[in-house]
C-alpha cells in the first residue's frame, strides 16, 4: 500500500475527510460486475498500467470485447520517476485523458537540468514550440496519472461489451496446440498457442476463475505472469538480465529549495558518489518532489552501499543539495524500491530487446522490457507498445510482425539511449562534456534538438561530429 493510499485511508477513518473533498484519483474506481466463469473474449489484457490500459482502450475503440485484469485495487501506486514525456501525449490525447490531466495538479516540464560529478551544471531546454503548445511533457504522481488513464480506458472497455477485474492475480496462462488440442508442454515454444488464463479474484482466500481468449496481452510489469509464461516457460529463455535491469529507489519530499513552482525543469545529477548511477529530482506539483536514485543492477551489485544509503548521504552531505534540503521533509511512507527492465539491446539474440511475442501473446511496457536505458522513462514506450499490440490484434496480423514493428519503432532510440547510458558511467567524460556544454550555447541547442530528433540523437555517437562540436 502506498504512502498516499495509507494517508487517505487514515484520514477517512478519522472522519477528517469526506469523499467529496478527495481528488478524483484518490477515490475507488467502480468497474462493474465481473464476468461469468468460463467467459470468452476477443482479447484479455493482464495489467492496468499505461501499457495495459492503452492496449485495452485501443482494442475497445476497435470494437473488440476485452477483459482487462488489474492485480491491484484503485487507487494504487506505481513507483517510477513520474515524468510523462512528449511521445506519451499523442496517446494521452487519443485516449481522452489529456484534458483531464491538464485540469488536475501537475508540474509542466520546460527543460532538463544536468550536473556532472565535479558540479558543473547545464540546462537543456525542451523544444520551444512543444512548450508553447503544452506538448513538451508533464510530471505528476503515477497514482494520479495511472488512475486517470485506467478510468477512461475501463469505461471504453465496458461500453464495448467488455469487463474489468480488480484484485485479480493471474496464476497461469492456459495453452493448447493451436487447434484446441492438448498443450505441447513447457519448452515447446512455437508449438504452443495461448488459449486463456486462470485468475484468482479477491486475495489469498479468493476464487479461481478461468477465461478464454486466443489473444492475450501481457502488461503486468517486470514480474508479469504472462511474460514469464512466454519467455521462461514456453521458450526456456532468460527474462531477467541484471546487466539490462535497473534498481531504483524513490522518496517524496516537500519544501525542497528550487522545486516549489508548478512549471520548470526536472533534474538529473551525476553525483560522484552515485556514478555509475544517477540522482534525480522531479517536481510533481504542489511543492512535492520525486527524489530518487537509479543504477544498473549488475553495477549496483559491486557497490558497498545500498541505494537508500547512497541517497541519504547525497541529501545530507553533498554541496549541491545539502542546503536545498535543509528545510525539506520526506513524506512518511513514500520510500520505495523497485526494478526497471531496460530496453537496451541484448547480445547474441535476434529478438530485441528480448522475446516479446508468441502464438496468441504480445507483451507491452515493462513486461516487454522497454524502459529507456538512459532516462529511465517507461510510460511513453508503454503507450506506444500498447497501441501497436492492439492494432495488430484488430488487424489480425501474424504475431512475429509485432516484434519487428515494435523494435523498428523504438529500437533506434533505445540503442542511442543505451550508448548514452554507457558513456554516463565514465566520470571524466561526464565532467568534460557537461563542463563544455555549460559554456557553449551551440552545444546546449544541439542537446535540445536531440530530445526531439532521432537523427540528432545519432550525432552523439558520431566521433567526428562530437569532435567538431566540442572542440570548436
pLDDT of 14 above 90 = no
Q: Helices 86-94 & 379-394, crossing angle to 10 degrees?
A: 40
CATH number at residue 45: 3.50.50.60
In SS3 terms, 213-228 reads as CCCEEECCHHHCHHHH
**306 within some domain:** no
Strands (E), 256-412: 263-269, 278-285, 288-296, 329-330, 336-341, 357-358, 361-363
**24 within some domain:** yes
Query: In this predicted structure, what is the pLDDT of residue 46?
Result: 98
**191 within some domain:** yes
Q: Which residue has the cell 492496449?
A: 55
**150 within some domain:** yes
Gap between the Cα atoms of 329 and 106, Å rounded: 20
Read off the pLDDT band of 312 (50, 70, 90): very high
Gap between the Cα atoms of 281 and 249, Å rounded: 12
Residues paired with residue 280 on neighbouring β-strands, in sequence order: 268, 292
Query: In this predicted structure, what is the pLDDT of residue 195?
Result: 98
Q: Residues 81-106: what's their mean pLDDT? A: 85
Query: In this predicted structure, what is the pLDDT of residue 131?
Result: 53
**258 within some domain:** no
pLDDT of 203 above 60 = yes
Compare 432 and 401 and report the one with higher pLDDT: 401
Read off the pLDDT band of 17 (50, 70, 90): very low
User: Burial, 225: exposed, middle or buried (Cβ in 10 Å; 0-12, 13-18, 19+)?
Assistant: buried
**Neighbour count for residue 186 (Cβ, 10 Å):** 14
**387 within some domain:** yes
Query: In this predicted structure, what is the pLDDT of residue 280?
Result: 94
Task: Decide: 162 and 41 in contact? Cβ < 8 Å.
Answer: yes
Number of domains within the chain: 1
Q: Residues 135-162: what's their mean pLDDT? A: 91
CA distances from 460 to 269, 305, 404, 471 (A): 19, 32, 25, 14
**173 within some domain:** yes
**Neighbour count for residue 48 (Cβ, 10 Å):** 31
Which grid coordinates are listed for 460? 552523439
Q: Residues 305-310: what's their mean pLDDT? A: 94
Q: Helices 463-471 & 441-452, crossing angle to 10 degrees?
A: 140
Task: Decide: 51 and 365 in contact? Cβ < 8 Å.
Answer: yes
pLDDT of 286 above 70 = yes
Q: Residues 78-96: what's their mean pLDDT? A: 83
Q: Residues 146-170: what's their mean pLDDT? A: 97
pLDDT in tens, 35-47: 999 999 999 999 9
pTM over 0.85: yes
* Residue percentage of the chain with pLDDT more than 90: 62
CA distances from 242 to 107, 247, 299, 301 (A): 32, 9, 9, 9
Of the ranges 30-34, 129-133, 324-328, which one carries the lowest mean pLDDT score?
129-133
Gap between the Cα atoms of 376 and 79, Å rounded: 12
Compare 120 and 212 and report the one with higher pLDDT: 212
Residue 265 has phi, psi (to 5 degrees) of: -105, 145
Domain encompassing residue 159? 17-80+144-240+342-420
The top-scoring range by mean pLDDT among 118-132, 163-177, 372-386 is: 163-177
**Rounded-to-10 torsion of CA 429, 309, 6, 263:** -30
Which grid coordinates are listed for 87? 511521445
The top-scoring range by mean pLDDT among 133-137, 295-299, 458-462 is: 295-299
Q: What DSSP string runs through 98-152?
A: HHHHHHS--EEEEEEEEE-TT--EEEEEPPHHHHHTT-SEEE--HHHHHHHHHHH
Residue 73 in 3-state DSSP? coil
Of the ranges 53-57, 264-268, 289-293, 357-361, which one carries the lowest mean pLDDT score?
264-268
pLDDT in tens, 216-241: 999 999 999 999 999 999 999 999 89
Gap between the Cα atoms of 98 and 78, Å rounded: 20
**353 within some domain:** yes
Compare 61 and 17 and report the one with higher pLDDT: 61
Compare 419 and 328 and report the one with higher pLDDT: 328
User: Burial, 11: exposed, middle or buried (Cβ in 10 Å; 0-12, 13-18, 19+)?
Assistant: middle
pLDDT of 18 above 80 = no
pLDDT in tens, 168-199: 999 999 999 999 999 999 999 999 999 999 99
Nearby residues of 41 by Cβ (< 8 Å), 6 or more positions away:
65, 66, 67, 162, 163, 211, 212, 213
Query: In this predicted structure, what is the pLDDT of residue 448?
Result: 59
Amino acid at each position: 500500500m502506498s504512502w498516499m493510499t495509507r494517508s487517505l485511508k487514515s484520514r477517512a477513518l478519522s472522519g477528517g475527510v469526506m469523499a467529496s473533498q478527495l481528488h478524483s484519483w484518490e477515490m475507488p474506481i467502480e468497474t462493474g460486475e465481473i464476468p461469468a466463469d468460463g467467459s470468452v473474449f476477443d482479447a484479455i489484457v493482464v495489467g492496468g498500467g499505461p501499457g495495459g490500459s492503452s492496449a485495452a482502450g485501443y482494442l475497445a475503440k476497435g470494437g473488440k470485447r476485452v477483459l482487462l485484469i488489474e492485480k491491484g485495487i484503485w487507487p494504487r501506486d506505481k513507483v517510477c520517476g513520474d515524468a510523462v514525456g512528449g511521445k506519451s501525449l499523442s496517446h494521452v490525447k487519443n485516449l481522452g485523458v489529456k484534458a483531464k490531466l491538464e485540469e488536475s495538479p501537475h508540474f509542466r516540464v520546460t527543460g532538463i537540468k544536468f550536473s556532472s560529478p565535479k558540479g558543473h551544471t547545464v540546462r537543456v531546454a525542451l523544444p520551444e514550440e512543444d512548450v508553447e503548445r503544452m506538448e513538451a511533457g508533464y510530471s505528476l504522481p503515477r497514482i494520479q496519472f495511472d488512475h486517470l488513464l485506467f478510468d477512461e480506458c475501463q469505461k471504453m472497455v465496458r461500453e464495448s461489451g467488455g469487463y474489468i477485474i480488480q484484485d485479480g492475480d493471474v496464476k497461469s496462462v492456459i495453452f493448447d496446440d493451436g487447434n484446441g488440442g492438448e498443450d505441447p508442454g513447457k519448452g515447446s515454444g512455437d508449438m504452443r498457442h495461448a488459449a486463456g488464463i486462470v485468475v484468482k479474484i479477491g486475495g489469498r482466500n479468493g476464487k479461481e476463475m478461468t477465461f478464454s481468449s486466443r489473444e492475450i496481452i501481457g502488461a503486468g510489469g517486470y514480474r508479469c505472469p504472462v511474460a514469464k509464461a512466454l519467455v521462461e516457460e514456453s521458450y526456456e529463455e532468460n527474462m531477467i538480465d541484471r546487466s539490462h535491469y535497473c534498481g531504483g529507489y524513490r522518496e517524496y519530499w516537500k519544501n525542497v529549495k528550487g522545486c516549489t513552482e508548478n512549471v520548470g525543469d526536472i533534474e538529473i545529477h551525476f553525483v560522484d558518489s552515485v556514478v555509475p548511477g544517477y540522482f534525480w529530482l522531479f517536481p510533481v506539483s504542489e511543492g512535492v518532489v520525486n527524489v530518487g536514485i537509479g543504477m544498473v543492477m549488475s553495477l549496483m551489485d559491486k557497490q558497498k552501499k545500498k541505494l537508500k544509503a547512497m541517497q541519504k548521504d547525497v541529501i545530507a552531505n553533498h554541496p549541491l543539495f545539502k542546503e536545498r534540503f535543509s528545510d525539506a521533509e520526506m513524506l512518511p511512507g513514500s520510500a520505495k524500491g523497485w526494478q526497471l527492465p531496460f530496453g537496451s539491446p541484448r547480445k547474441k539474440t535476434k529478438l530485441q530487446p528480448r522475446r516479446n511475442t508468441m502464438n496468441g501473446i504480445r507483451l507491452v511496457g515493462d513486461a516487454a522490457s522497454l524502459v529507456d536505458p538512459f532516462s529511465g522513462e517507461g510510460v511513453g514506450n508503454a503507450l506506444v507498445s500498447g497501441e501497436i499490440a492492439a492494432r495488430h490484434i484488430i488487424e489480425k496480423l501474424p504475431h512475429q510482425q509485432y516484434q519487428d514493428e515494435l523494435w523498428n519503432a523504438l529500437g533506434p532510440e533505445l540503442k542511442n539511449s543505451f550508448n548514452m547510458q554507457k558513456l554516463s558511467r565514465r566520470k571524466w567524460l561526464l565532467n568534460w562534456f557537461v563542463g563544455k556544454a555549460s559554456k557553449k550555447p551551440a552545444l546546449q541547442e544541439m542537446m535540445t534538438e536531440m530530445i526531439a530528433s532521432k537523427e540528432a540523437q545519432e550525432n552523439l555517437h558520431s566521433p567526428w561530429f562530437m569532435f567538431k562540436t566540442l572542440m570548436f
